[in-house]
Amino acid sequence: MRFLLRLAVLLIGILLINPVFAQTTATISGRLTDATTGETLIGATVEALGLGKGNISNEYGFYSFSLAEGADSVTLRFSYLGYESKMQRIFPKGNIKLDIGLQPAGNVMKEVVIRSNPLEEKMKSTEMSVSTISAREVKALPALFGETDVIKILQLKPGITPGAEGTTGLFVRGGNSDQNLIVLDEAIVYNANHLFGFFSTFNSDAVKDLKVYKGGFPSQYGGRLSSVIDVRMKDGNNQDFTGSGGLGLISSRLTLEGPIQKNKSSFIVSGRRTYADLITSGINRANEGKADYNPIPDYYFYDLNTKVNFTLSEKDRLYLSGYFGRDVFNFKNETFDFRFDWGNATGTARWNHVFNPKLFANTTFTYSDYRYRINNELQGFSFNLGSEITDVNTKIDFYYQPTNKHTIRFGASGTYHMFTVARLKAGSSDGRISFESGQDFTGMEYGAYFSDDWALTSRLKVNYGARVSAWQNAPAFYAGFEPRAAANYTVNNKWSVKASYARMNQYLHLLASSGLSLPTDIWYPSTEGVKPEISDQIALGTSYLINNKVLITWEGWYKWLQNQVDFKDGAELFGNNDLENELAIGRGFAFSPLELEIEKKDGRLTGWIGYTLAWVRRGEFADINNGDYFAPRFDTRHNLSVVAMYELSKRWQLTATYVYTSGYISWLPVGRFTLNDVPGAPIQTVVPIYGDRNTFRYPAYMRADLGVVFKFKTKRLENDLTLSVYNATDRRNPYFIYLEPEFQTVQQGDSAIDIPTAIKAKQVSLFPILPSLTWNFKF
């Protein structure tokens, strides 16, 4: 609380002191946008030519910097990768407001927004361990079933280990999959998956920008240990009414956007739905009543993104955005009438206010909900199981630029969490039989932060700050102090050296019953028995720029993890009112001496090469593996990814990706015994005995994907046809290995007996070569 008071005092001081600065310097501020759509540009550059002064726009397109007042004119250059630069002459005096629209560089597909920090800016920034993904990359790169997915592109970045084949799982720098803070327009997305993880919830048509922090976390972020994935939706075109969409193998998409009041307000609505169920339900109807017919389960998912924004005044802007998505699985036969649905809903209301040219504030209210429901009806009996987490959050963030040497951010947030944990109700309709279990929790999570990005000298920049977080789930109360620091020393215009440290606290824990992400995984709060997870990460790195075109970045990092949560062996997740008794608490660590990225963002050939050499361990769990350390499933030693996009012409683009990953870790049985069992049960000849956890490594994973994009115009539409070839070499990668006994059937009198003869290891692969064609259009 004292920290919040100090923040308030600081804010008042800033508001009072600011006019003093304004008397001696000219302050140039405004917003940078795409001139054709009005979309704000994040990370665009403004610089005063010849003066070495300038800044980049923040996540709302807002920029601010100061110049000494004078009679001579100064030329400002506004630039952004993929856009034509714009020059503007000014006379630096007083406060100058300049809202600038940049024209996209002549692409046939003008909806393409190339979003990337210029490599030089990236090299000189105090930010490290950061990756960005552009909409252009997402749309161009080959994808499984042609379904472009921003999260799957993220998996190609160094330091990020993908989940199981084809899924959107992310294991960032040795962290668990629940240790990623995934936010969509600042609302938390708790389960960013469709179809058991094969597709993410992010419709690439609606996504403007994605940035992932793997370390060196800015102070404004907290609540997860291993990464921050900040996804921004498009604002909507405030110039013209436009539409876009696509037809793919799995789903179809449609996006409509346009001005509500030109230049002042706009909307965007984007929807997506799969259609396999339309076919399966037709087949089921055609075969209804046939004795030997087993109905095919119906499955579909859909999601809807909406956003409106209003320019209320020169200083005020309001954004309202929402997401709603559901997966639905239905199955009905003579025994079951089964429905399983799950999904997220988020809502965000944001108010941007420019207090003065140096002070910008954003006030946000968010709502986030993730739930799953399983319902099964039988004649006279029912079964219902579900879990849910709901957040209501409010926060305020200030962005303050007192001088060109300091960029200060501070703010505070409060989140009210509501949990329904594995609520089960089952029984007979007459009430004679009833089963019930489950727990409900509420919790308050608080955060307040401060950071200063300080240019100590022309070569040395530091970013220092701290976050104070707290968690209350009566009677449990925890508070954490999270120092953050980063430094960049620019040796020369081509070379910089960086370092960072960050502590993170995580008050929510995902209880996952297997190494794979399932919709039924449960979010569980910190309690007296389950302490907050804590991580400390240090990173060192260096960046070298070759010919202003290729940036080579090396980083080495070490991460310590405390209070890691796992299930005891044989834990019962459902039908259990004492889940904490099933949990084991331990520690972990991960480190990499070599995380390398070579990026090229401009020219006909663009892309990157990423390589990570890393070790990951978990241990000191009292009830797991005798407390010994073990490698978790995603401890892949080597990760190599190569991503290339080549503009053959204005119409044709070739793309390719290659991935090599050391095999995942698995827990295979080491012994077996024969189970005699009780009367009425047959002898089981092979019961596996598991020894130490996770001692077997799968064969390496390798995959090459190819893509061709052909762009063309018809009378009313701008089109592209994208041919994707997933797993172009048709390699059989391991998805799952199991040990299977082989049996020989021996006739014994009237009955046949299966006698085991040998055991073989079988490898199951998921996807062979999979070509797909997607048609995208825009009008």
Partner 1 sequence: MVSLLKKIFPFSLLLLVACNLTKDVDVVLPEYDRQPVVECYLEPGKPFRMLLSESYSFFDPFNLDSNFLQNTLLDSAVVTISYDGKTETLANQLSFEFSPLKIFNYTGTAVVPATTGMEYTLHIILPNGKEINAQAVMLPKTMIDSVKVEFSADADTLARVLTYINDDTTQDNYYRRMLNYSSLDSTAAQDFIVNDRISQTSLIAFGTGYDLKEGDTIINTIFHISKPYYDYIESVQLAVAGNANPFAQPSPIKSNVSGSGNPVGVFTCLVYDRDTTVVHK
Scan residues 368-407 and list those touching partner 1 (CB under 8 A): 374, 376, 378-379, 381, 383, 385
Q: Does 755 bind partner 1 (CB under 8 A)?
A: yes
Q: What is the DSSP letter of 113?
A: -
Token pair of 579 as six digits: 């889940």
Q: Does 632 bind partner 1 (CB under 8 A)?
A: no
Residues 637-676 vs partner 1: string with x where CB under 8 A?
Answer: ------------------------------xxxxxxxxxx
Contact segment (CB under 8 A) with partner 1 among 220-228, 426-434, 445-453, 717-725 equals: 426-434
Give CA–CA dist 685/674, Å, rounded: 4
Among 87, 684, 712, 773, binds partner 1 (CB under 8 A): 684
Q: How far is the CB of 503 from partner 1 (least distance, A)?
A: 31
Report, in Å, the least distance between residue 288 CB and partner 1. Answer: 12
CA 187 to chain centre: 12
What does each C-alpha distance from 54 to 28, 69, 245, 748 come to in angstroms? 9, 15, 38, 88
Shortest distance in whole angstroms from residue 388 CB to partner 1: 17
Q: Would strands 25-34 and 95-97 be described as parallel, antiparallel, or unpaired?
A: parallel
Q: With binding defined as CB under 8 A, does residue 195 bind partner 1?
A: yes
Q: How far is CA 682 from CA 61, 452, 692, in A?
A: 70, 70, 29
Nearer to partner 1, 84 or 754 (CB): 754
Q: Which of residues 730-749 bind partner 1 (CB under 8 A)?
A: 732, 734-740
Cβ 178 to partner 1 shortest distance, Å: 16
Amino acid at 435: F
Minimum CB–partner distance for residue 345 and partner 1 (Å)? 23
Decide whether 477 or 673 has the Cβ nearer to partner 1.
673
- Indicate which single residue of 695, 702, 721, 731 sits in contact with partner 1 (rule: CB under 8 A): 695
Q: Residue type for 255, please?
A: T
Residue pair 645/629 in contact (Cβ under 8 Å)? The answer is: no
Q: Check residue 754 for interaction with partner 1 (CB under 8 A).
A: no
**Cβ(714)–Cβ(727) under 8 Å?**
no
Task: Using DSSP, state whether 468 is helix, strand or coil.
Answer: strand
State CA 264 to chain mean position distance.
31
Q: 402 vs 663, which CB is nearer to partner 1? A: 663
Residue 278 is a binding residue for partner 1 (CB under 8 A): no
Place of tokens 């004078």: 70
**Binding to partner 1 in span 546-575, by CB under 8 A:** 567, 569-571, 573-575
Residues 281-320 that bind partner 1 (CB under 8 A): 296-297, 299
Q: Shortest CA distance to 270 belongs to which of 195, 344, 230, 324?
A: 324
Measured from the Cβ of residue 247, the count of other Cβ atoms closer than 10 Å reads: 15
Among 432, 458, 747, 749, binds partner 1 (CB under 8 A): 432
Under a CB-based contact definition with an 8 Å cutoff, are residues 394 and 364 in contact? yes
Interface with partner 1, residue 520, by CB under 8 A? yes
521 neighbors 513 (Cβ within 8 angstroms) = yes
Which position has the token pair 């909307």? 267
Nearer to partner 1, 326 or 494 (CB): 326
Per CB under 8 A, contacts with partner 1 among 197-256 are: 198
492 binds partner 1 (CB under 8 A): no
CB 439 within 8 A of CB 471: no
Backbone angles phi, psi at 230, to 5 degrees: -100, 110
Q: Which is nearer to partner 1, 88 or 376 (CB)?
A: 376
Q: 367, 346 in Cβ contact below 8 A?
A: yes
Number of residues that bind partner 1 (CB under 8 A): 98
CA distance 714 to 718: 6
**Site string (131-170) toward partner 1, x via CB under 8 A:** ---------------------------------x------
Nearer to partner 1, 181 or 631 (CB): 631
Q: Which of residues 339-358 bind partner 1 (CB under 8 A)?
A: 340
- For partner 1, the binding residues in 500-519 under the rule CB under 8 A are 513-516, 518
434 binds partner 1 (CB under 8 A): yes
Number of H helices, E strands in the chain: 5, 47
